[in-house]
Amino acid sequence: MTLSSYAVELSDLRMRAAMFYGPNNLVVEEKKMTYDKNDVVLKVDVCAVCGYDSRVYRNGHKKVKPPLVLGHEICGTILTEINTDYGVIRSGTRVAVSPVIPCLSCKLCFKHQYNLCNNLREIGSTVDGGFAEYVKIPQQIIKIGGLVEVPDNLKSEEAALLEPLACCLNGFSHLKKVGPESTVLIIGDGPIGLLHLQISKKLYHAKTAVVGKIPSRIQRAKAIGADEVFMFDDGTARQVMSFTDGHGADLVIVATSSPDALGFATKVAAKNSNINIFSGFPNDNRFSIDPNWLHYNQVSITGSFSSTPEMLQKAARLASDGKIDLSKIISHRYSLDNITQAILDTSEFHGLRVVIDRF
C-alpha cells in the first residue's frame, strides 16, 4: 500500500480524544483526524500521564495553544508498513515514540541535538498527542529514528514509560562523572525520582539517597534500593550532610517541581558537585544564588530537557534486559473517559505513574 492511498483511506478517520480547552477544562469527545500523506498514524495502546500534563491541565503553558490533545509518553501500534532510513517497520509493530519534532535545518538539528531544536515542536504539547485513540506522527520523527520498536518482553504500559526513562538517561549523560565513588541525592520521590534512583544504583552503582514528601513513595524508594531515604523537613539538610560524611552530595538531581528543592539543593551540594535541574517548574519561578558559593566551591548547575531517539533506543535496551524495571513505576490504570481523574491523581501525588490504557 502506498502512502498516498493510505492517506486517502484514512483521511476521514474519526476517533475519541481528550481535548484540552484551557486550564481545568478537558473534554473527551469525538474528533476528526486530519493529516497529509507524510503523516504516519499510530493506534495508541497506552499513554502515561506526565507531571507536565498535570501542570498544563491546571495552569496552561506558553507552549500549549488549546484546543489540543495532550500526552507524550506513548506506546502505539503501526497501522501500515513504513519505510525508514533505519529499516522497514511492519504494520502491527508496537513502537515507543520520541515526541520531539525537530526542524532538521537549524544548527542544533545538524548536531543531532533534536531536543534542543530552535524551532522545536512536540507531540502532546504543540501538536496533538496520545490521549486519543490515534496519534499522527510527523515525518521528521520518522526521519530521526524517533519510532523505536518495543521489545517483545515489555508490556505496552512499560513501553509508554520508555520516553521518561530516555529523558532521565539524557539527564545523566550531561552530568559530571558519576560512579561507585559518587554520592547521589535525588530530590523528588515521584516516578521520575524513582527512575533516576534505578539508573543511579543499577547503571552507576553510586551511593544514592532520595528526599521526598510522600511516605508511601519514600517507602517505595527504599524498596527499589535507595541507600537512604529522607522525608523533607527542616532537619533534612543536616541528615544529608551526615549521610555524605559531611561533604555533601556529588550529584544533586532536582526531580520535582517544588520550588523548595532549589534552595535545598544548594545546601547539600558538595564541592565540585553538579546540580541538575531535570524538572520543569510552574511558570515564573525564580531562585537566587550566591555567585561566590558557585565559584569557590566549583559547583555546576545544569539543566536537561527531554531526550533524543538515541536515548529512547538505549532506554528500550535497558528495560528489555531487565536493568531498569519500569513496572515498579506504574500505580494506576484508567480508561480515556477517566482522564481527568488520572491527571488529578498525578497532580495530587497519588501513587506513581498513572497510565491510560483503554480508549
Pick the closer one to Zn ion by CB: 209 or 319: 319
What number of chain residues touch Zn ion (CB under 5 A)?
6
Q: Give the span between the Cα atoms of 220 and 346, in whole angstroms.
A: 16
**Dihedral sign, Cα of residue 358, residue 325, residue 252, residue 179:** negative
Q: How far is the CB of 106 from Zn ion (least distance, A)?
A: 3
Cell 534500593 maps to which residue?
Answer: 225
Cell 495530587 maps to which residue?
Answer: 348
What would you measure as the largest C-alpha separation in the chain, in angstroms? 67
Q: How far is the CB of 192 from Zn ion (least distance, A)?
A: 8
Pick the closer one to Zn ion by CB: 142 or 206: 142
3-state secondary structure of 13: coil
Half-sphere exposure of 202 (CA within 13 A, CB side): 17
Pick the closer one to Zn ion by CB: 190 or 248: 190
Report which residue type is found at 210: V
Sheet arrangement for strand 25-32: 25-32, 14-22, 68-69
Site string for Zn ion, 54-93 (x = CB under 5 A): ----------------------------------------
> Of 83, 125, 80, 82, whose CA–CA distance to 100 is shortest?
125
Q: How far is the CB of 52 from Zn ion (least distance, A)?
A: 5
Range in contact with Zn ion (rule: CB under 5 A) among 101-109, 187-195, 218-226, 230-238: 101-109
> Which pairs from 210-213 meet CB under 8 Å and 24+ separation?
210/185, 210/186, 211/185, 211/186, 211/187, 211/236, 211/240, 211/264, 212/188, 212/256, 213/189, 213/258, 213/349
Segment holding 317, helix H or strand E: helix 309-320
Site for Zn ion in 141-170 (CB under 5 A): none
- Binds Zn ion (CB under 5 A): choice among 13, 106, 231, 294: 106
Q: How far is the CB of 250 from Zn ion (least distance, A)?
A: 26
Does residue 50 touch Zn ion according to CB under 5 A?
yes
Pick the closer one to Zn ion by CB: 50 or 195: 50
Pick the closer one to Zn ion by CB: 182 or 346: 346
Range in contact with Zn ion (rule: CB under 5 A) among 24-32, 106-114, 121-129, 271-279: 106-114
Does residue 330 touch Zn ion according to CB under 5 A?
no
Phi, psi (5° rounding) for residue 122? Answer: -140, 140
Range in contact with Zn ion (rule: CB under 5 A) among 5-13, 96-104, 212-220, 339-347: 96-104
3-state secondary structure of 238: helix
Phi, psi (5° rounding) for residue 134? Answer: -135, 155
> Of 193, 44, 37, whose CA–CA distance to 123 is shortest?
44
Q: How far is the CB of 305 from Zn ion (least distance, A)?
A: 11
Does residue 116 touch Zn ion according to CB under 5 A?
no
Pick the closer one to Zn ion by CB: 106 or 301: 106
H helix count then E strand count, the chain: 13, 20
Range in contact with Zn ion (rule: CB under 5 A) among 99-107, 133-141, 191-199, 204-212: 99-107
Pick the closer one to Zn ion by CB: 50 or 343: 50
Q: How far is the CB of 8 from Zn ion (least distance, A)?
A: 31
Q: Give the span between the Cα atoms of 333 and 167, in whole angstroms.
A: 22
Site string for Zn ion, 7-46 (x = CB under 5 A): ----------------------------------------
Pick the closer one to Zn ion by CB: 95 or 229: 95
Pick the closer one to Zn ion by CB: 47 or 109: 109
Range in contact with Zn ion (rule: CB under 5 A) among 97-105, 170-178, 265-273, 316-324: 97-105
Does residue 102 touch Zn ion according to CB under 5 A?
yes
**Contacts to Zn ion by CB under 5 A:** 50, 102-103, 106, 109, 117
